[in-house]
Amino acid sequence: MIDPDRLILLGEIGSAHGIRGEVSIRTFTEVPADIAAYGPLKDKTGKRTFEITGLRVSGNAVIARLSGIEDRTAAEKLRNTGLYVKRSQLPEPEPGSFYHEDLAGLTAVDPVGSPIGTVVGVVNFGAGDLVEIRRPGERETLLIPFTNDTVPSVDLMAGRVSIVAPVYTADDTNAGPDDKDSEQE
């Protein structure tokens, strides 16, 4: 079940930009400038509110002016602050689509429907989205590439996601420069 009051991370404040209190914001919205389209943003606690009063796009980030932040010192204190909105403030996704945050808490099942764990969330370390799954009794989470082959179905109403774990063989590894098999004579 989707919690309409759940806070969804839309961006993170980076460094101060200039001396007048502007900040760089790494955005997680499809279009970087859309971070300003959902109204005031909140910190992770939901207690502090930030209103973007000016914005310009710079690559995958934006340079923003925030209401009440007037100088570099105030801007520097905001570094690494996450910017959130309530799930209810986001538009409903297209049919068959979903927000990655909606997957958190779903039961991950194997192809025959047996539970294998709970979805923690979706992460991306630069090489593509990964579904993170917490397995019962395990300390480390399982990371599965978020592709149609490995995640063939997501059923938000049933609260489950189907997972087909990839099988890796010795042939799937790339031999490095120190690997004797990779040397050519």
Q: What band does 95 get if pLDDT is binned at 50, 70 and 90?
A: confident
Q: Work out the mean pLDDT of the chain and round it to a whole number.
A: 87
pLDDT of residue 175: 46
CB of 69 within 8 A of CB of 21? yes
Give the contacts of 22 (CB within 8 A, at least 6 positions apart).
16, 54, 63, 64, 65, 75
List phi, psi (to 5°) of 37.
-85, -10
Give the separation between CA 21 and CA 17, rounded to whole angstroms.
7
Per-residue model confidence as pLDDT tens digits over 3-50: 778 888 899 999 999 999 999 999 988 889 999 999 999 999 989 999
Total-model pTM: 0.71
Q: What band does 76 get if pLDDT is binned at 50, 70 and 90?
A: very high
pLDDT of residue 99: 83
| 134: β partners | 118
Domain at 100-162, CATH homologous superfamily:
PRC-barrel domain (2.30.30.240)
Q: Tell me the average pLDDT across 133-150.
A: 93
Domain at 7-89, CATH homologous superfamily:
RimM (2.40.30.60)
Structure tokens at 149: 């082959």
Please give the span between the terminal C-alpha atoms of the chain, in angstroms, as a whole number.
Answer: 60
Give residue limits of the domains in the chain. Answer: 7-89, 100-162
pLDDT of residue 4: 79
